Homo-oligomer: A and B are copies of this chain.
């Protein structure tokens, strides 16, 4: 990807072929880290967070606003008073001990399967944006076509390991039926891993049925093929919608991200370590519940994490405490031997300006050092998640490729050979024509396509184009070169039949009131 120059847009099949030839769209394997992690807490401090979280679970308790969950917890031996579940630390430890530390995350193309957990990481696009900034940099509500475009980009960008699900919300389709089309779009336009909607228990069941069509119900019983996200209501509440969706996934042995939704200072204490203690208690309570539903089911320690501005109450991004908390959360997840997710390339900027760049790069670098396994919201996120930017999507994807390269660490395989070049060249020479340089330059130093490093004279001669416009041109090029990964025709028809049947069953109007 990184050795080609940005070509002017061309049209037609010839152009598509040219772009496909010029660029390598092969997905990078799951990242395997070669850099040491940044671990700000020592063992005593980790245990201090653990003890505080366990105290919260035992003494303050967690509200499960869901009768089934309350009954499940009673059955598991927890003390339940009203909707509050008091979790003994022994029970919590026993339950989370059965969460697999690693698993293989399956894609419909087995070449895109991902080893998951421990020192592996994958990059997943942002999801859930109610607006997009489109190819003309216009901010508007997205459509199914926009969503398909993001799925196509996810398929093509090498450092992106998943097509996720509703990267943008397709407003041109009834909300009650939207999850079906979203899931189909993820499956159809990419053969990488994807995510499943958890917007209601019934929607989650539909996702499971569609996964069963794509992968086989039996295969799913022993192979994770999809991930769903379940947000908590911090402080210390899990609601019926999320718990029902969680059960739908877990019963099929599919992992959910157990994600406290933390706005530091608003729904947690105004302090770093105590916020992590509360978040950790919340995550543990849901992780433990997954094992009540199905022992041994994979699960992922999640969180959405921001701090709020005390000026406006708005969530911030790229601030130092967010970075510190992410480093700490990584340590807690590893302490419990559970894989974990992050919110990776966040930004609060309203446009793709320098603010967005600073915010996203800061968060990405911190999370790369934190050792997160599931690097979610890694591309496109801006305006505190209110819009997904097509320009930022491709730039973030290249940033992920660079973070990937950095996290791999240092290569030593050509060390002696290159030192021989130092002797060849000697003082005052230059290396550009040396055989070692010619052999190695393509892999030696990452050359970002979307950064312009030319002189100002050349940049002006090329139209004085800033990165936002360059990235939009690049995105147009990519979409022009897209080729759909073949989906078995019988599977495709079965999926479409399922969607058609469910769309007949689900009233389109209803859902606006109840189903999201």
Asked if A138 is at the interface of the complex by the 8 Å CB criterion, the answer is no
State A35–B321 Cα separation when bound (angstroms).
13
Q: A28: shortest Cβ distance to chain B, in Å?
A: 13
**Which of B323, B384, B464, B468 interacts with A354 by CB under 8 Å?**
B468
Which chain B residue lies CB-closest to A321?
B445
Q: Which residues of B contact A409 (CB under 8 A)?
A: 40, 324
Contact in complex: B270, A411 (CB < 8 Å)? no
Assess A444 versus B273: contact at CB under 8 Å? Given A237-B428, A383-B456, A453-B315. Answer: no
Q: How many copies does the complex hold?
A: 2
Which chain B residue lies CB-closest to A311?
B5
Selected interface stretch from A53-61, A102-110, A111-119, A504-512: A53-61
State A328–B442 Cα separation when bound (angstroms).
22
Q: Which residues of B contact A45 (CB under 8 A)?
A: 410, 412
Q: Which residues of B contact A271 (CB under 8 A)?
A: 411, 414-415, 418, 436, 440, 444
Contact in complex: A269, B418 (CB < 8 Å)? yes
User: Which chain A residues have a beta carbon within 8 Å of chain B's beta carbons?
Assistant: 3, 5, 34-36, 38-41, 45, 48, 52, 55-56, 59-63, 84, 139, 233, 235-237, 264-274, 277-278, 307-321, 323-324, 328, 348-362, 365-366, 369, 383-384, 386, 392, 395, 399, 402-403, 405-406, 409-412, 414-415, 418-419, 421-423, 425-432, 434, 436-437, 440-442, 444-448, 450-456, 458-459, 464, 466-468
With most chain B CB atoms within 10 A of its CB, the pick from A84, A265, A270 is: A270
Contact in complex: A452, B35 (CB < 8 Å)? no
Q: A398: shortest Cβ distance to chain B, in Å?
A: 9
Q: Which residues of B contact A411 (CB under 8 A)?
A: 271-273
Contact in complex: A356, B355 (CB < 8 Å)? no
State A455–B130 Cα separation when bound (angstroms).
14
With most chain B CB atoms within 10 A of its CB, the pick from A273, A412, A425, A427 is: A427
Q: A355: shortest Cβ distance to chain B, in Å?
A: 4
Contact in complex: A361, B365 (CB < 8 Å)? yes
Given contacts A34-B40, A267-B430, 11 further A-B contacts (CB under 8 A): A38-B369, A233-B428, A236-B428, A269-B437, A270-B441, A272-B411, A324-B410, A349-B452, A354-B357, A361-B365, A362-B365
Contact in complex: A357, B351 (CB < 8 Å)? no
**Which of B316, B421, B423 interacts with A448 by CB under 8 Å?**
B316
**Which of B268, B349, B365 interacts with A431 by CB under 8 Å?**
B268
Q: A54: shortest Cβ distance to chain B, in Å?
A: 12
With most chain B CB atoms within 10 A of its CB, the pick from A237, A351, A384, A436 is: A351
Q: A423: shortest Cβ distance to chain B, in Å?
A: 6
Q: A477: shortest Cβ distance to chain B, in Å?
A: 17
Assess A422 versus B60: contact at CB under 8 Å? Given A399-B358, A410-B324. Answer: yes
Q: Which residues of B contact A352 (CB under 8 A)?
A: 354
Q: A32: shortest Cβ distance to chain B, in Å?
A: 15
Contact in complex: A445, B410 (CB < 8 Å)? no
Contact in complex: B355, A310 (CB < 8 Å)? no
Contact in complex: B427, A235 (CB < 8 Å)? yes
With most chain B CB atoms within 10 A of its CB, the pick from A60, A278, A310 is: A310
**Which of B272, B354, B429 interacts with A356 by CB under 8 Å?**
B354
Contact in complex: B38, A36 (CB < 8 Å)? yes
Q: A349: shortest Cβ distance to chain B, in Å?
A: 7
Q: Which residues of B contact A419 (CB under 8 A)?
A: 52, 55-56, 269, 274, 277
Q: Which residues of B contact A422 (CB under 8 A)?
A: 56, 60, 235, 268-269, 274, 277-278
Q: Which residues of B contact A55 (CB under 8 A)?
A: 419
Which chain B residue lies CB-closest to A35?
B40
Contact in complex: A405, B314 (CB < 8 Å)? no
State A60–B315 Cα separation when bound (angstroms).
56
**Which of B266, B410, B421 interacts with A273 by CB under 8 Å?**
B410
Which chain B residue lies CB-closest to A368?
B365
Assess A270 versus B63: contact at CB under 8 Å? Given A5-B311, A467-B353. Answer: no
Q: Which residues of B contact A237 (CB under 8 A)?
A: 427-428
A-B contact pairs, 27 of them (CB 8 A): A3-B310, A36-B40, A38-B38, A40-B410, A56-B419, A235-B422, A235-B426, A235-B428, A265-B441, A266-B432, A271-B414, A272-B444, A273-B410, A273-B412, A273-B418, A310-B447, A316-B451, A316-B453, A320-B405, A349-B467, A353-B357, A354-B354, A354-B392, A357-B357, A357-B358, A358-B360, A358-B399
